[in-house]
Amino acid sequence: MSEFTIKANSIKEPIPHIFQACEFLSSAVEAHLHGNQAAADALFRQADIPEVWNWVNPAWVVVQPNVRVQKPDGDTHQVPMAERDTVRDVRKDPRAAKVRAAVLARDGYRCRYCGIPVVSADIRKIANKLYPDAVPWNEDPLEQHAAFQCLWLQYDHVVPHSHGGLSSEDNVVISCALCNFGKDKYTLRQLGLSDPRLRPPEPISWDGLESLRVCGSPKPRRSEASHVKADMRETLASPPEKTPSPANSVAFFLPGAWVQSGYVNTPSIAGKARWFKIGPELIAEAAVRNGITGCRLMCDPVLFRRRGLSPEEFLDSDQSP
C-alpha cells in the first residue's frame, strides 16, 4: 500500500477538551462584557486545561516527528530566496492586509486542517491585559494559557513559502497554532496530509471572541507603525470638513471595527468577518457610540449590500463626525 493511499486532514485529531475550553472562553468573555469580572476570571482559569496543553505540546515546537516521508516522489522542492514571494509572514506583514481579510472572510474563525475554533492574537492580548493572572502569556510555552495557545489563529501557506508558495488568497488558509507551526516548512506530501483547499470551508457560529475587542486595542506592530503615522499625517493635512463625501453617501457605524493599513476590518457579523477598502468611495474614522468603540463610515449603502449586510442595521444615528 502506498504511503499516500490514506491521508489525514490534520497532524493530530482534536480532543473534546478543546471544545470544552472554547465554551469556558465564550462564557468568560460574556461575563466580562456584563461586568462580572470575578466570574470571567474564574472561567478564563477553567479554560486553561492541562489536556489541551498536552495536545498542542510538543507537536508545534518539535516538528520532525510530524514528518511521515522525507522525500516523497513527485513532491515540490525548495526554491531560491530570490524566487520566493516577498510577503513571507501573512499574519504580520502590512502588505498582506487584504489577503488576511479575504481569507478570514472565507474561512471564518476555524482551522481548515483540524477544524477547531481559533482566536486572534489581538484578542488574547486584550484578555491577558485584563486578566494577567488568569490568562498568562510568556515566551516560554510552559507559561502560556493552554486554550489561547491551542486556538491561536494563524495564516498557513498550503504550498510552503520556501517551495514557492504564494502569499495569496488561493494558497493561504486559516489554521490553528499546531497545524501551522507543526507543519512548518514541510509539504502536505511529507506530512501525509490531504489538501484542505479540496474541502469547502464549514461555517460555524464561533466568532473568535471578537466581541472582546471593544475592551481594548493593542498597540500597532512596529511594521505597521509607519502606516499609522502616515495616515495621521494625511488626516491632519486634509481636515475632515474639507474632504468631500462620496457620492450617495450615508453615515454608518460598525461596532468593534478597526482601521488597519487602508482597510476597515470588522469582527464576525453573522458568522463572517468583512473588510472595506478606504478610498474615494468610502471615508472611515474611529468612533465611539454608547461606550462602544468602532468605526464611522461614509459611503454608498450598496457597499454594505455587496458584503451581504443590511445597511439599515448599521445606520449611524449620531450624525456628528
Compute φ and ψ for 82, nearest 5 degrees. -65, -20
For the chain, the three-class secondary structure string (H helix, E strand, C coil) is CCCCCCCECCCCCCCHHHHHHHHHHHHHHHHHHCCCHHHHHHHHHHCCCHHHHHHHCCCCCCCHHHCCCCCCCCCCCCCCHHHCCCCCCCCCCHHHHHHHHHHHHHHCCECCCCCCECECHHHHHHHHHHCCCCCCECCCHHHECHHHHHCECEEEECCCHHHCCCCCCCCEEEECHHHHHCCCCCCHHHHCECCHHHCCCCCCCCCCCHHHHHHCCCCCCHHHHHHHHHHHHHHHHCCHHHCCCCCCCEEEEEECCEEECCEEECCCECCECCEEECECCEEEEEEEECCEEEEEEEECCHHHHCCCCCHHHHECCCCCC
Task: Identify the pLDDT of residue 275.
Answer: 86
Task: Identify the pLDDT of residue 243.
Answer: 47
Listed residue (115, 127, 144, 119) closest to 57, CA to CA? 144
Residue 215 makes CB contacts below 8 A (sequence gap 6+) with 32, 33, 126, 130
Task: Identify the pLDDT of residue 218.
Answer: 43
Residue 164 makes CB contacts below 8 A (sequence gap 6+) with 76, 79, 83, 84, 85
- CB 33, CB 211: distance < 8 Å: yes
Task: Identify the pLDDT of residue 247.
Answer: 72
Compute φ and ψ for 96, nearest 5 degrees. -100, 15
Per-residue pLDDT of the chain (321 residues; tens, 9 = 90+): 344 456 899 999 999 999 999 999 999 999 999 999 999 999 999 999 999 999 999 999 999 999 999 999 999 999 998 999 998 889 888 898 999 999 999 999 999 999 999 999 999 999 999 999 999 999 899 999 999 999 999 999 999 999 999 999 999 999 999 999 999 999 999 999 999 999 999 888 899 999 998 887 544 444 444 444 444 444 334 444 444 567 788 999 998 888 877 788 888 787 777 888 888 899 999 988 887 888 999 999 999 988 888 899 999 987 655
